[in-house]
Structure 1
Amino acid sequence: MYFLLPLGEIDYHHSNKPAMFNYHFAKPGHPLLAPYVDYFVQLDGAGTLFKSIYSRLNTSFLLDFDQGTFYDGQPVKTGLLGVKEKMIRFSPATCRSTLADKFFVSFTPYGLSVFTKMPMQELSNGMVAGEDIFGSSLHQLYDQLQPLSFSARVTLFETFLLRRFTAPHASHQLIFDLADDIKNDVQGSPFLQLKALPLSERQIERNFKRYIGTSISRFLRVARFEKAKQLIAGQPSRRLTDVAHLAGYFDQSHFISDFKRLTGVSPKNFRECCSSH
């Protein structure tokens, strides 16, 4: 069984043992947070969970209340994953059925940068403990969130973020807009858009890494992959050559090689996997 989050960013599945999971989803309620927080998700219930996080543009923040998630052999209580180009797998400590309780916050590509001074490239392709981003106050928040319902958790976490919000400067907003343009128009050339910005190419690239977490070219690569993945999952009967074109790939060979590098399987096999679940 798979529970697909928006854009299929995280796949949850279990062993052959019976499992019953509840999936909760919410967009941010406060309008100030809308450009920076994409959504909140909670997964709870009984079963054995395994997780695969594909390459993606958003930053994921996990609060694991059942403390049954392990990354590189270490338990994950709170953690953040930034923009990345590789698939990351998580697994439980054992294959025994447990009571799951996991709360996720998905930030937009630049969203986390308005709540912390940490450079976003420090989150690239790895996991950082939540305390390293938000400080020791996260321990108290974790304890406050644990007994609450999903809606109450969302409200409290929004309050937590609003206390840390810093409005972006005009130069930062230019980078945010550039990231949105690339994400929304994967067939275009971002390097043509750079000429219209009142910054040097070097400044743009440096600030892009600082507030987005990766280079412009890598961001475009993941944006095209996300678009292709969305098309395959949402329109399984569409020809893969059309998917490659709509996702902005130069040709079919680039599409296949990028997909294999980012998922470990070909687009055809990925589509078959989505169709079977």
Structure 2
Amino acid sequence: MNYQTFQPHPDLQALVNCYWTLEVPAEKDAQKQRIIPDGCIEMAFILGDDVKRYTSEGEFIIQPRAMVLGQTIEPFYIEPTGYVNTFAIRFYPYGFANFVTIPIKNLVNKETPIELLFGEKDGNALEKKIIEASDSRERIGIIERFLLDKMNEKSTIDSIVKSTIDALLLTNGSASIGAILKGDLSKRRQLERNFLKQIGVSPKQLGKVIRLQTALKMMLNKETENLTNIAYESEYFDQAHFIKDFKEFTGINPKKFLGNESMALSTLFYK
């Protein structure tokens, strides 16, 4: 696997986490790969062979070749049909809402073709330019011009949503929403509405994903193999809560995670 990341233009740094590319040679017996929620929304362009996304044990769809993957709150499997070559943009949780007018909650747990988000003319033109570009740097230039043109200058990130996300990131997802809002119930209702509009999931769900990321990184970097210590360092109430959340978002328990062939791609992204 050849996985690389690139930093965005300064004018987009508040909204775009990074650009990434992934190349994997075709394999005769390619393994399914389990994809774990990471709290981000991504725009992806499949430049190689088709990729399957399983909707059940034996059923799958072919992913659109130019798509936006919304927030995911449950794991899913993908499987390459041959050579993997992907270029993608990873947005911060609140970032992608600044480029579209539809509710972000409509994108949750699925892939949406970009022509449905930006119109057939603009979507197809962008896809064509990305495909015909000679390298990653040229593709980054194309997508940055597109995003800067699409950005509505009047739109601003909702201050309550952003401050909540900042607090969740600062505390690795452990901060309670009540504490962030200092018990103001009217703000909480407003926050819930705006989160669904701008992020696509609830603040509680996003906090759980961010906290799980902390635990996954500890496991993958082999900081400790003791699940109790991982739960404590990741601010879980106890080991049982850690295991419950882990299984909810990955589909397996922590002891089966490391060394699992279906986790190779997710492991690469999280390291």
TM-score w.r.t. the length of structure 1 is 0.82
Q: 2:118 aligns with which of 118, 129, 134?
A: 134
Query: How many percent identity over aligned positions?
Result: 25
- Pairs within 5 Å for 1:44-123: 44=23, 46-48=25-27, 50-71=32-53, 72-93=60-81, 98-123=82-107
TM-score w.r.t. the length of structure 2 is 0.84
Deviations 1:210-259 (A, max 9, x none): 11111121111111111111111123435221211222211111111211
Could you tell me how far apart the structure 1 residues matched to 2:205 and 2:190 are? Answer: 17
Q: Contact between 2:52 and 2:61, CA under 8 Å: does it hold in 1?
A: yes
Deviations 1:171-227 (A, max 9, x none): 713212211211221232222112377953211110111111111211111111111
Deviations 1:119-168 (A, max 9, x none): 11112122222222222212111111113201110111111100011257
Could you tell me how far apart the structure 2 residues matched to 1:139 and 1:70 are? Answer: 21
| Unmatched runs of 5 consecutive residues or more in structure 2 | 54-59
Say if 1:37 and 1:198 are closer, same or farther in 2 by CA, change over 3 A: farther
Q: Contact between 1:63 and 1:78, CA under 8 Å: does it hold in 2?
A: yes
1:13 equivalent in structure 2:
none
2:219 equivalent in structure 1:
232
- Pairs within 5 Å for 1:260-275: 260-273=247-260
2:163 equivalent in structure 1:
177
2:17 equivalent in structure 1:
38
Q: Contact between 2:174 and 2:207, CA under 8 Å: does it hold in 1?
A: no
Q: 1:192 aligns with which of 147, 166, 179?
A: 179
One-letter code aligned to 1:154: I
Query: Per the alignment, in what secondary structure is the counterpart of residue 150 of structure 2?
Result: coil
Task: Using the TM superposition, give the Cα deviation of residue 70 of structure 1 relative to its aligned residue in structure 2, in angstroms.
Answer: 2.2
1:147 equivalent in structure 2:
132
Segment of structure 1 superposing worse, 167-176 or 135-144: 167-176
Report the count of equivalent residues: 252
Query: Per the alignment, in what secondary structure is the counterpart of residue 188 of structure 1?
Result: coil
One-letter code aligned to 2:34: S
Q: Contact between 2:50 and 2:62, CA under 8 Å: does it hold in 1?
A: no
One-letter code aligned to 2:44: L
2:56 equivalent in structure 1:
none
Could you tell me how far apart the structure 2 residues matched to 1:139 and 1:171 are? Answer: 28
Calculate the aligned-residue CA RMSD, in Å. Answer: 2.5
Could you tell me how far apart the structure 2 residues matched to 1:179 and 1:246 are? Answer: 20
Could you tell me how far apart the structure 2 residues matched to 1:201 and 1:41 are? Answer: 35
Could you tell me how far apart the structure 2 residues matched to 1:53 and 1:128 are? Answer: 17
Say if 1:260 and 1:191 are closer, same or farther in 2 by CA, change over 3 A: same
| Unmatched runs of 5 consecutive residues or more in structure 1 | 1-20
Task: Using the TM superposition, give the Cα deviation of residue 170 of structure 1 relative to its aligned residue in structure 2, in angstroms.
Answer: 6.1
1:243 equivalent in alignment to 2:230: yes
Could you tell me how far apart the structure 2 residues matched to 1:178 and 1:133 are? Answer: 27
Task: Using the TM superposition, give the Cα deviation of residue 68 of structure 1 relative to its aligned residue in structure 2, in angstroms.
Answer: 1.1
